[in-house]
Amino acid sequence: MRVLVTGAGGRLGQAVLPRLLDDGFTVRATSRRPRSDPALEWAVADLATGTGLAEAVSGVDAILHLATEPSSGRRAYQVDVLGTRRLVVAAGRAGVRHLVYTSIVGVDKVPIPYYRHKLAAEQVVAAGPVPWSVLRATQLPEFLDELLRTASRLGPTIGDPGILAQPVDRGEVGVRLAARLAAGPLGGVEELGGPEVLRFDEAVRAWRTARRSRRPLLPVRVPGRLGRALRDGGLVSTALPRGVRTWGDYLADTYGGTGRR
């Protein structure tokens, strides 16, 4: 099967591409700038403008749509919503038989602009002419790690202790995506979460232990609807099966500490 992968150079793409190649897929990857790799074919395409999309989708059996713009600005709408629409239209014209879209658990519950864009993109995919599947994954541990480093720039780690998270290993997301491509269109949404649900303060303690840090947690409650959604499990999935690699496993691999809380 020949698969086009958008967003192939991103964090998730870097984990997915080796899995697809190992599973025997023929891979064409997109980038906004020319790249070369003997293991796969790179195509230049830009979701924000539509440049190169018709050529990129030509001759492929399926599309794995990973590309996203994680911000709240106009470019996020251009890429995630309008760009997805451009891709779906081009794929329909090219006779693509399956489009898999990667989304995020909570896009229908957590009221932030980026999530609204992701939900709108899901709706574009579902309404399009190409048979489809959507995989919503919980947050990657790399994202949580970056969030904690940002929250600690002023000294203490600032955050709402009651927020719930469920980090899932990006390699395990890649395995699920490859399996979905092989299985064919779902015509619906499936979810993948990590093996454990953590309160923010639990995640901070493990992170601090792994980094051998003494930074205290400065509790600041997130107000309003957003705070309620985050504390009520808006970022958490009850779907089974779940991933197996834990937050502690990620911390041990990254920092060498045990990450034991």
In a domain, 18, yes or no: yes
Burial 146-183 (b: 16+ CB within 10 A, else e): ebbeebbeeeebbbbbbbbbbbbbbebbbbbbbebbee
206-222 per-position pLDDT tens digit: 999 999 998 899 999 99
Asked if residue 80 is part of any domain, the answer here is yes
247-255 and 200-210 are packed helices; what angle lies between their axes, rounded to 10 degrees?
30
| Beta strands at 198-199 and 132-137: parallel, antiparallel or unpaired | unpaired
Q: Look at residue 200 and tell me whether its pLDDT is greater than 80.
A: yes
Q: Count Cβ atoms within 10 A of the Cβ of residue 195 and give its class: 0-12 exposed, 13-18 middle, 19 or more buried.
A: middle
Residue 236 lies in a domain: no
| pLDDT, tens only, 138-160 | 999 999 999 999 999 999 999 99
- Which pLDDT score, from 0 to 100, does residue 257 have? 58
**Closest-CA residue to 121 (of 72, 88, 98):** 88
Whether residue 259 is predicted with pLDDT greater than 80 in this model: the reply is no
Query: 258 falls in which pLDDT band (50, 70, 90)?
Result: low
Residue 79 counted as domain residue: yes
More confident call, 86 vs 33: 86
Both tokens of residue 23?
């599973």
Q: What is the pLDDT of residue 261?
A: 45
Could you report the per-residue pLDDT of 89-133, keeping only the tens digit for each?
A: 999 999 999 999 999 999 999 999 999 999 999 999 999 999 999
Q: What is the mean pLDDT of the chain?
A: 95
Q: Is residue 22 part of a domain?
A: yes
Which CATH number is 100's domain given? Answer: 3.40.50.720
For residue 130, what is the DSSP state?
S
Beta-strand relationship, 41-44 and 26-31 = parallel
Is 148 part of any domain? Answer: no
Domain count, the chain: 1
Q: Per the domain annotation, does 29 fall within a domain?
A: yes
Residue with the two structure tokens 């779940």: 242
Q: Which domain holds residue 9?
A: 2-137+170-192
pLDDT higher than threshold 90 for residue 243: yes
For residues 73 and 55, what is the distance between their CA atoms, to the nearest angstrom?
28
- Separation in Å, CA 219 to CA 53, 157, 160, 163, 222: 46, 8, 5, 11, 10
Model confidence at 27: pLDDT above 80: yes
**56 lies in some domain:** yes
- State percent of the chain over pLDDT 70: 98
pLDDT of residue 205: 96
Q: Which of 173, 229, 190 is nearest to 13 (CA)?
A: 173
> What mean pLDDT comes out for the span 70-74?
79
Q: Note if the bond before 241 is cis, omega within 30 degrees.
A: yes
